[in-house]
Amino acid sequence: MMVYFTSDPHLGHANIARFRSYVKDTDDNTRIFLEDYESVVRKNDIVYFLGDVAFNDESLEHLRGLKGRKILIKGNHDNLVSTQKQAEVFDEIHGMLKYKGFWLTHCPIHPLEMRGKKGNIHGHVHSKTIPDDAYLNVCCDNLKSIVGHSLISLDHVREIFKARETCAQRVESFANNSTSIAIWISKRKSQKVFQKLLLKWEIWWGIPCRPLLHHFGIKWKI
């Protein structure tokens, strides 16, 4: 069984092509989303729709026969279709949900409301992103640009958050050691030795060390 996330397909949105560069019109938007969905989702999979799914009853019907257990987190445009109609298509409907250590919402939640969770998987902002590692935008627009698909798996989401955590740890490690490194380097007489060590640090940490060391006023030549 696989778990997937998606948000803001905007099925039936008459003006979607004005806001979504990879579609020609409303029908093209629907076709692309359905093709992406059917290419990965199987019978026993679970798909979380994080809001703004369909703009009318007719467009909602496109989802009725799709495979998988479909769970809706309601968005600001989901009031365009009645909850009764949505209940005929979706297996569950929520306002927000806690899942596997994440908050699942349509709009991003306030940082103070994380309450110890790993992060917030959300939609609503389309191709925009929040400059905070605790947030992951799974709008179709954003997913198309970063993974080339309208859905993203839970496994891939976990990989993204793990990579962010690793990067943050490297930055913190460098910050904690940068002062002592700067003092040690300032006492070295050999610029060649320093340059070799600098290159090793950049490889180990994956962080450009030279600009940061320059910040500490270290005089050297490249």
Which own/partner pairs from 155-159 qualify as long-range (CB within 8 Å, at least 24 positions apart)?
155/2, 157/5, 157/102, 157/121
Q: Is residue 7 part of a domain?
A: yes
Residue 220 resides in a domain: no
CATH number of the domain at 65, please.
3.60.21.10
Q: Which of 155, 157, 115 is nearest to 133 (CA)?
A: 157
Do residues 50 and 74 make contact, with C-beta atoms less than 8 angstroms apart? Answer: no
CA distance linking residue 96 with residue 153, whole number of Å: 19
134 assigned to some structural domain: yes
Q: In this structure, is residue 157 part of a structural domain?
A: no
Higher pLDDT, 130 or 102: 102
**67-107: per-residue pLDDT in tens?**
999 999 999 999 999 999 999 999 999 999 999 999 999 99
**Predicted structure pTM score:** 0.78
In a domain, 155, yes or no: no
Q: How far apart are CA 1 and CA 44, in angstroms?
A: 6
Judgement on whether residues 142 and 168 belong to the same structural domain of the protein: no
Same domain (yes/no): 207, 99? no
Give per-residue pLDDT as tens, 166-195. Answer: 766 665 665 566 555 555 555 554 555 655
| Residue 58 three-state SS | helix
Q: Which residue range(s) make up the domain with 185?
A: 164-215
* 40, 112: one domain: yes
Tell whether 197 and 168 lie within a shared domain. Answer: yes
Same domain as 189, residue 100: no
Instruction: Return left, alpha or beta for 51; rule: phi > 0 is left, psi -120 to 50 is alpha, else beta.
Output: left
